[in-house]
Amino acid sequence: MKLILASTSVYRQTILQKLLIPFVLASPEVDETPLAAESPHDLVARLALAKAKNVATTHNGLIIGSDQVACFNGTILGKPGNFDNAVQQLTFLAGKTVTFYTGLCVYESASKKYENIVELFNVTFKPLNHAQIVTYVNAEQPYDCAGSFKCEGLGICLFTKLDGRDPNTLIGLPLIGLIELLEKFEVDVFDHIDSELAY
């Protein structure tokens, strides 16, 4: 089995390393612009598949595609990109619940067969004050993260509740779901663990 992660995200790479399975990285070239009237669920499902298919044009094996958006009341929240936008986004989200939609696809290049799912994860923010938000943004600089936080780090201080079946989903790669999808291709993760990758 050759496993390919169709992503250059360091966050997804770190998550996949938890399974101790050898894999390679490939950068998908996909236009991530939402289609007219496309729901967050349909958007991430489409993009996860598109990323895997794109990488399949240059790589052979089982390809993992994933895409994620954060939403509040059906509106997609973008990555802040800079300090001011991050402070503004967290100020808006304080005291509110945000839903993360993560699309996950496993695509077999040889047969062109694929399996996909969309995982939801809800995050409820504390009623944060301005000083707390500024301190957090200065400390962690979450400018490349939808929602303006890194839950695997100091971002955990921003929440009152996390609701979902797999905390990895929030970071961008649902491992429980991935293992289930791999099993549909008759891949047992335990058969491919490389103990030399343990750290």
Torsion over CA: 33, 38, 44, 45 (sign): negative
Catalytic residue among 67, 166, 188, 194: 67
Which pLDDT tens digit goes with each residue over 100-143? 999 999 999 999 999 999 999 999 999 999 999 999 999 999 99
Which pLDDT tens digit goes with each residue over 44-87? 999 999 999 999 999 999 999 999 999 998 888 888 999 999 99
Tokens 């990285």 belong to which residue? 25
Rg from Cα positions in the chain: 17
Judge whether 84 counts as a catalytic residue.
Answer: no
- Asked whether the beta carbons of 61 and 3 are under 8 A apart, the reply is yes
Domains and CATH numbers, the chain: 3-197 (3.90.950.10)
pTM of the model: 0.90
- Asked whether the beta carbons of 125 and 93 are under 8 A apart, the reply is yes
Which element (helix H / strand E) includes 131?
A: helix 130-140
3-state class (DSSP) for residue 133: helix
The pLDDT score that the predictor gives to residue 199 is: 59
